A and B are shown apart, each in its own frame.
With several copies, the nearest count.
Chain A
Amino acid sequence: MTPDAAAWDALRLSLWVAFWATLLAIPLAVWVAWLLARKDFWGKAVLNAAVHLPLVLPPVVTGYLLLLAFGRTAPLGQALNALGIQLAFHWTGAVLAAMIMGFPLMVRAMRLAIEAVDPKLEDTAATLGAPRGMVFFRVTLPLILPGVLAGTVMGFAKAMGEFGATITFVANIPGKTQTLPSAIWAALQIPGGERQAVMMVLMASTVAIAAVLLAELLARRVAARIAGA
């Protein structure tokens, strides 16, 4: 038995969604992680809690909240719609849902990496004349690369696997918003659909494992360069 066209569609969409979700989340996650790791500011606790919230809430709830915020009838959704941006019931919404669900994982990994950077190295870069932004891009960022990679792969895996929030926010329209997890879920709704589901589970796993191993490889390279091997 081979995966049917719908399964391939779902895989394609999932990859697309996960790709964009991860890509868009990286800079934001790095920034939030940096804020949480290095800055003290009013509302830091709130930000920290907010970042973790998608972990705690049942994904359906997150999906509903998204629907409430960005639905076609919601003011925010209407405003965005006026700008030509449609989120609810659209693959872009799946991207948003995947971003939000993966965000805590990305931020945490990057934050840990940032906390491990010796601020003395950043200070040293400053004494050599590098302004703040340059210090970040030439010292901090390269040093946290393994953490960024770790966060990215976690975010990507989560984006590939996200189901509850996605199906609630963008529904499960084959070829349009049906991601692999939604398709798997749908397959499980008919007796005998397990084989189709197993097929798709294997597809999802393969992609995710490939991503994990690729990230691992890259991280090893970075580490090897630092170790001088």
Chain B
Amino acid sequence: PVTVFAAASLRGALDAVAEDFGADVSISYGGSGTMARQIDAGAPADIVILAAPVWMDWLQERGILGDAPRTYLLGNRLVLVAPADSTIAPDPGNLAASLGDMRLVIGQRDAVPAGIYSREWLQATKQWEALQNMLAETDNVRTALALVARAEMPLGVVYRTDAMAEPKVRVVYTVPDDQHSPIVYPAAALTDAGKVFLKFLQTDESMDIFAAHGFAPVKP
């Protein structure tokens, strides 16, 4: 069987894709940082798909990946979501105004990839300083999504893929992808079996499934 170490936010889409692969596929989902360290410590992965290029860079620097070129497998978009039944209509350039005494939920600013992208966006739109005391950061995007879905908080920044899968939220704004570094999922095959699976992931059929879950293809 092929063992895949994949970023948690791929859960769902990647499961669906893997179903069509001929052989058994075991997918170990986790945080990008954790998985990078595991690969470094000799994890028995055939292929690794991370949510953050920095960790792939880190693996490369440590010589784990050899000189196999990395593949940017998928892309994603950042969206601003609100609870499905909320009527909030925020100004994306001045979120603070719509929050009142509530908070904006994002992934942890330095730790969670989605949080990093969110920070970049908010910095690019010059509202980071203003929002400093109006953030609630979570340890992964899914928690952020859940907080908005449960209407604990009025607004959150998550991936488009997450928003699409969660009926209890509504996308109120899609962040232009030039306001943050590109959201890409770098993949690297560590074994020959991995290479085969990576090829399979890049087939049009696979890509269609990913697209159906909201992922965008990456143009190199």
B142–A64 CB distance below 8 A? no
- Min CB gap B170→A, angstroms: 13
Q: In the bound complex, how far is the Cα of B135 from the Cα of A77, in angstroms?
A: 20
- Most interface-central of A71, A74, A192 (chain B CB within 10 A): A71
**Majority DSSP secondary structure for residues of A touching B:** loop
Q: Please give me the residue from chain B that is nearest to A66 by CB atom.
A: B41
**Which residues from A are CB-within-8-Å of B142?**
188-191
Residues 34-76 of A contacting B (Cβ, < 8 Å)? 60, 64, 67-68, 71-74
**Which residues from A are CB-within-8-Å of B55?**
191
Q: Chain A 72-106, CB within 8 Å of chain B: the 1/0 string?
A: 11100100000000001100000000000000000
B interface residues, how many (CB within 8 angstroms):
54
A174 contacts partner chain B, Cβ-Cβ < 8 Å: yes
**Which residues from A are CB-within-8-Å of B205?**
none
**Which residues from A are CB-within-8-Å of B8?**
186, 189
**Which residues from B are CB-within-8-Å of A77?**
42
Partner of B43, one of A171, A174, A192: A171
Q: In the bound complex, how far is the Cα of B191 from the Cα of A5, in angstroms?
A: 28
Q: In the bound complex, how far is the Cα of B91 from the Cα of A49, in angstroms?
A: 49
**Which residues from B are CB-within-8-Å of A60?**
34, 143
A171–B38 CB distance below 8 A? yes
Residues 41-77 of B contacting A (Cβ, < 8 Å)? 41-44, 54-55, 57-58
- Min CB gap A187→B, angstroms: 8
B152–A178 CB distance below 8 A? no
Q: In the bound complex, how far is the Cα of B164 from the Cα of A192, in angstroms?
A: 11
B40–A73 CB distance below 8 A? yes
Q: Please give me the residue from chain B that is nearest to A71 by CB atom.
A: B41
A173–B30 CB distance below 8 A? no
Q: In the bound complex, how far is the Cα of B83 from the Cα of A71, in angstroms?
A: 14
**Which residues from A are CB-within-8-Å of B145?**
191
B147–A64 CB distance below 8 A? no
A67–B28 CB distance below 8 A? no
Partner of A73, one of B32, B42, B146: B42
Q: Chain B 132-158, CB within 8 Å of chain A: the 1/0 string?
A: 000111111011011101111100000
Partner of A167, one of B3, B34, B44, B150: B34
A interface residues, how many (CB within 8 angstroms):
31
- Most interface-central of A67, A173, A182 (chain B CB within 10 A): A173
Partner of A89, one of B12, B38, B58: B38
A152 contacts partner chain B, Cβ-Cβ < 8 Å: no
A189–B112 CB distance below 8 A? yes
**Which residues from A are CB-within-8-Å of B37?**
64, 67, 168
**Which residues from B are CB-within-8-Å of A191?**
12, 33, 36, 54-55, 57-58, 142, 145, 149, 162, 165-167
A185 contacts partner chain B, Cβ-Cβ < 8 Å: yes
A89–B26 CB distance below 8 A? no
Q: In the bound complex, how far is the Cα of B165 from the Cα of A191, in angstroms?
A: 6
Q: Chain B 8-46, CB within 8 Å of chain A: the 1/0 string?
A: 110110000000000000111111111111101111100
Q: In the bound complex, how far is the Cα of B105 from the Cα of A89, in angstroms?
A: 11
Q: Please give me the residue from chain A that is nearest to B9 by CB atom.
A: A189
Q: In the bound complex, how far is the Cα of B142 from the Cα of A171, in angstroms?
A: 12
B121 contacts partner chain A, Cβ-Cβ < 8 Å: no
B11–A67 CB distance below 8 A? no
Residues 151-189 of A contacting B (Cβ, < 8 Å)? 167-168, 171-178, 182, 185-189
Q: Please give me the residue from chain B that is nearest to A171 by CB atom.
A: B136
B110 contacts partner chain A, Cβ-Cβ < 8 Å: yes
Chain A residues within CB distance 8 Å of chain B: 60, 64, 67-68, 71-74, 77, 88-89, 167-168, 171-178, 182, 185-193
Known: A60-B34, A174-B26, A190-B111. 4 other contacts (CB 8 A): A67-B41, A171-B105, A189-B140, A191-B12
Which 8 pairs show the lowest CB-CB distances between chains A and B? A72-B42, A71-B41, A189-B111, A191-B166, A171-B136, A191-B165, A186-B111, A191-B58
Chain B residues within CB distance 8 Å of chain A: 3, 5, 8-9, 11-12, 26-38, 40-44, 54-55, 57-58, 103, 105, 108, 110-112, 135-140, 142-143, 145-147, 149-153, 162, 165-167
